[in-house]
Amino acid sequence: QVQLVESGGGSVQSGGSLSLSCTASGMTFATRCMGWFRQAPGKEREGVALIYTSEYTQYADSVKGRFSISRNSARNTMTLQMNALSPDDTAMYYCAASPDKTGAYCGDQSAYTHWGQGTQVTVSS
């Protein structure tokens, strides 16, 4: 049974940093699409950062240059380093995994079949 568990959320002031972690069990990270998504109150869930390989990552325009996604396949963990946070980044953040091992569908949110419970990130001004 696949399980994804996020940690690292919290409250921070604008301009601050947080690092989110996702630990997986029941699956391996190696060569599959993994991603971080977020959902703010009253808004649709959106992709924040995706990773297929260390050379293949994607970021939402709103977080480019501020967020960095990485993963440690040996430890089955994925990390989202978030810097220069703003109140617009306030949301529930979710870790997700896709069975896609080709990388062709990393950008398709519907391709992600396993989701964590989420961790709250709150940025105050």
User: pLDDT at residue 42 above 70?
Assistant: yes
* pLDDT more than 90, % of the chain: 78
- H/E stretch holding 88 reads none
| CA torsion through residues 39, 43, 58, 66, sign | negative
In this structure, the dihedral spanned by the alpha carbons of residues 110, 113, 116 and 122, taken in order and rounded to 10 degrees, is: -10
- Greater pLDDT, 7 or 31: 7
CA distance 63 to 27: 28
- What pLDDT is stored for residue 59 in this prediction? 97
Q: How far is CA 48 from CA 75, 85, 88, 106, in A?
A: 22, 13, 13, 12
